[in-house]
Amino acid sequence: MPSDLPLKVKIGPSILNSDLSCLADECNSLIKNGADYLHLDVMDGHFVPNLTFGAPVVKSLRKHVERSVLFDMHMMVAEPEKWIQDMANAGADQYVFHYEASKDPANCIRLVKESGMKVGMAVKPKTDVTLVDEYADMVDLVLIMTVEPGFGGQKFMVDMMPKVAHLRQKFPKLEVEVDGGVSPKNVDQCFTAGANQIVCGSAITQNSDPAGVIKQLKTIADDAFKF
- Per-residue pLDDT tens digits for 14-31: 999 899 899 999 999 999
pLDDT at 17: 86
Integer Cα distance of 185 and 136 in angstroms: 29
Question: Are 77 and 146 a contacting pair, CB within 8 Å?
Answer: no
Question: Are 13 and 200 a contacting pair, CB within 8 Å?
Answer: yes
Laid out side by side, the sheet with 71-76 consists of 10-13, 197-200, 175-179, 141-145, 118-123, 94-98, 71-76, 38-43
Residues in the chain: 227
Integer Cα distance of 27 and 25 in angstroms: 5
Superfamily of domain 10-224: Aldolase class I (3.20.20.70)
Question: Are 56 and 48 a contacting pair, CB within 8 Å?
Answer: no
Is this model's pTM higher than 0.85 or not? yes
Point out the residues of the chain with pLDDT beneath 70: 1, 152-153
Instruction: Point out the residues that are catalytic.
Output: 41, 179
